[in-house]
Amino acid sequence: MKTYTLTIIYNDKTDELESLEERIAEKEAPLSIDANPDTMEKIFQADLIEDLLVPHPGERVGEA
């Protein structure tokens, strides 16, 4: 996800643009499930796989 921030500082007394700043921040939250096989099985049995993975399409999840 990218966050775009544009900051404009305008002096209304002098009618001049004092500064213009653009910032782009890219946030990445990699998904990693570091669990033993028993824990992975419990996650599967609790039907939580979809809840864990749907917000993170294209990421890899596996046993460590």
Domain boundaries, the chain: 2-53
pTM of the model: 0.39
Looking at residue 10, its pLDDT comes to 93
How sure is the predictor about 22, in pLDDT bands with cuts at 50, 70 and 90? very high
Q: What is the mean pLDDT of the chain?
A: 78
Q: Using one digit for the tens of pLDDT, what is the confidence trace for 41-51?
A: 888 888 877 77
Q: Could you write out the DSSP letters of every residue in the chain?
A: -EEEEEEEEEETTTTEEEEEEEEEEE----------HHHHHHHHHTT-HHHHHTTSTT------
The residue ranking higher by pLDDT, 35 or 63, is: 35
Give me the mean pLDDT over the 47-56 stretch: 70
